[in-house]
Structure 1
Amino acid sequence: MARARSRPFDPALAGLPPEARWRAWMGHVEAVLFASPAPVPREALARVVGPECRLDALIADIGDALRDRPYELVAVAGGWQLRTRAEFASAIRAAAAVPEEARGGALTAGEQLVLAAIAYLQPVTRLALSRMLAKEVSRDVIARLKRLDLVGAGPRAPEPGAPLTYVTTPAFLARFGLASLRDLPDIEALEEAGLLDPNGTADTPSDPFDAMLGLSGEEA
């Protein structure tokens, strides 16, 4: 028995009436978001809907449809992603039976402080970070942030020795729920939160990003 050929994908869905076509587009986009472990950029979503689709309006309708669900659609790292809502994080961790101390992606207060400084000052050298935080920023801290894909190498600094600089990554944006670096609050908010002392000393609260951004940085 011959196998039936699969029909070529038709993003335009021109044969459907407008209301049915809109619902189908919503289904296509939500399926793509559900299947992706990373934020999906606009250009990828545009490939699964017709050229006449108003993608922003479609995204808004999907968000409205998920209003009462334990997960939501968020704009993050230059795209969109389905994420469980923060209030369900403890239930997810309990189901996974992962003790708090075993969660390898958790950051110490010192690591969060260095990451915050990189986010604001990038591209920035390790020496400049140490001067700004008034304490040595070790290579081990930088290396761990790089292993977690939160920090990457930037351009060489235009100074003697051309030292490496460091910048944040798209994974940093995704982890902290930021659409872009423009979503970071003003530098004054960093100082008001007690994270950085303008006189050159640094405070290290237990969760700097919670204080600065109201974000946990945890992946549910």
Structure 2
Amino acid sequence: MKTILFLILTSAVFAADAPLLKDDFYVSDSAIRRAARGEWKFAEGSATCTQDDALFKKNKDHGPILFYDLNYTDALIQFAVKPDEANKMIVFTANGADGHVFRLVFTPTGMGVRAFPPEGEDHKSISLGNEKEVVLKAGAWTKVSVDLRGTKAKVKVGDFAKTYEHASIAPAKVNLSVGFSYGTVSVTELVVDK
């Protein structure tokens, strides 16, 4: 009886520590991921896609994207990205039921940090920061960490770390995504923890 109780308690502890979501990118068909707007390839633990210019135009200048449907409010989202030299933008977005909540935009001139206040009919973003020193290196993996807790977003990109605060970060989220425009981008190590 003691052994059974120990196994039940141990299982509960490990289940509590399990991530909300983890994509190892070893399979192309996954119930947790929607790969869209391009031909994504899954190999050696990463997802890679090259923008198709015809699809880019068809999708109103939106490039390839990986979507993850997941209900969460506070979470630590981690992943690594590797752009090539032709890449012009990589975008991480946390979305609520009514639209975008929080976004990181990486371009060759730096990283933009944006929040989306729910007020207003057009739901436009506001800038929380424009970090010119945060530029992703072509051909190299860069780790990205976004810790959303209440009204705060703690962002780590490589050696850079900064906390941003805005009331519009706090609402419940229903999905997250990593997308890009131009060139080829690889994504790996995507994990969402409580």
Q: TM-score, normalised by structure 2?
A: 0.26
> Which of the pair is proportionally richer in strand?
2
Structure possessing the higher relative contact order (Cα contacts under 8 Å, 6 or more residues apart): 2
Please state which structure has a larger fraction of its residues in helix: 1
